């Protein structure tokens, strides 16, 4: 959105949420420090230096957007904190909201099978979502919700320093890559988040509805494997 449009909307009393770039410097360093607010009281700079325990606590206690009031539990993320692979989805659904763990429903079972197909156990990767709280009725995340939740995922990525990110589904891919490009155009090539390669594939929930697309997802997984094994796609 251009600056003039943002100003017009401001003048009309409308807050325009602009999807921001991921901060590559904070992605590149896993260094921790004392969580503190800068002179502007920036929540984001506080989160950017948190270690795992503070980060988990901050997510559990977060009420920055309205979603926490309507969800049972926050869904922080699960898996190996030294993982080479990071899988990023959209947001918790009903099962994840109950259990506090990402991808535990039917889509999660398919995700486990997709990982197994490339020789990975679920425990070997780190799985997280764009949003830590379930949107009501599983609606798409709103831009302002994604923006307020972004520092948490950004910090998880910085602490893990994965060798590859697999973005599953349109919402994950578009938010991570800061684009509105349709998923069909994002998959099949390698993107970069700072110095981390990102491969995009279909969401397992979509694959459950459209099993004919599983072949394409398989191609995406093979691309990711090649990247991780030192190929350039």
The most distant pair of C-alpha atoms in the chain lies apart, rounded to whole Å, by 54
Question: Does the footprint of ligand URA cover residue 197 (CB under 6 A)?
Answer: no
Tell me if residue 20 falls in helix, strand or coil: coil
Question: Does the footprint of ligand URA cover residue 135 (CB under 6 A)?
Answer: no
Question: Does the footprint of ligand URA cover residue 97 (CB under 6 A)?
Answer: no
Instruction: Compute the Cα dihedral for 222, 224, 228, 230 and give only its sign.
Output: positive
Work out the burial of residue 205: count CB atoms within 10 Å of its CB; fewer than 13 is exposed, 13-18 middle, 19 or more buried.
Answer: buried
Which of 89, 141, 151, 162 contacts ligand URA by CB under 6 A? 89
> Which stretches does DSSP call E strand in the chain?
78-79, 85-89, 126-129, 164-168, 190-193, 196-201
Helices 52-60 and 143-160: angle between axes, nearest 10 degrees? 160
Which of 22, 85, 103, 126 contacts ligand URA by CB under 6 A? 103
Per CB under 6 A, contacts with ligand URA among 46-75 are: none
Q: Which is nearer to ligand URA, 44 or 90 (CB)?
A: 90
Question: Which residue number is nearest to ligand URA in terms of Cβ?
Answer: 89
Shortest gap between Cβ of 223 and ligand URA (angstroms)?
20
Question: Does the footprint of ligand URA cover residue 26 (CB under 6 A)?
Answer: no
Name the region of 223 (left: φ>0; alpha: ψ -120 to 50; beta: rest): alpha
Which of 26, 74, 129, 154 contacts ligand URA by CB under 6 A? 129
Question: Does the footprint of ligand URA cover residue 202 (CB under 6 A)?
Answer: no
What is the contact surface with ligand URA in residues (CB under 6 A)?
89-93, 96, 102-103, 107, 129, 205
């Amino acid at each position: 959105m251009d600056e003039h449009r943002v100003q017009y909307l401001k003048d009309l009393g409308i807050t325009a949420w602009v999807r921001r770039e991921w901060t590559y410097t904070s992605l590149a360093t896993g260094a921790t420090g004392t969580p503190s607010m800068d002179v502007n009281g920036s929540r984001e700079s506080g989160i950017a230096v948190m270690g795992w325990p503070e980060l988990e606590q901050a997510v559990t206690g977060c009420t920055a957007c309205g979603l926490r009031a309507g969800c049972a539990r926050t869904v922080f993320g699960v898996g190996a904190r030294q993982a080479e692979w990071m899988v990023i989805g959209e947001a918790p659904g009903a099962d994840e909201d109950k259990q506090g763990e990402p991808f535990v429903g039917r889509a999660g079972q398919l995700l486990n099978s997709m990982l197994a197909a490339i020789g990975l156990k679920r425990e070997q990767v780190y799985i997280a979502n764009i949003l830590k709280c379930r949107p009501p009725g599983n609606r798409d995340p709103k831009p302002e919700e994604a923006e307020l939740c972004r520092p948490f995922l950004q910090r998880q990525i910085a602490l893990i320093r994965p060798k590859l990110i697999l973005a599953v589904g349109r919402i994950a891919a578009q938010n991570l890559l800061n684009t509105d490009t349709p998923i069909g155009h994002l998959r099949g090539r390698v993107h970069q988040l700072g110095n981390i390669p990102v491969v995009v594939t279909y969401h397992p929930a979509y694959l459950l509805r459209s099993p004919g697309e599983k072949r394409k997802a398989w191609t995406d997984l093979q691309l990711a494997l090649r990247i991780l094994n030192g190929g350039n796609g």
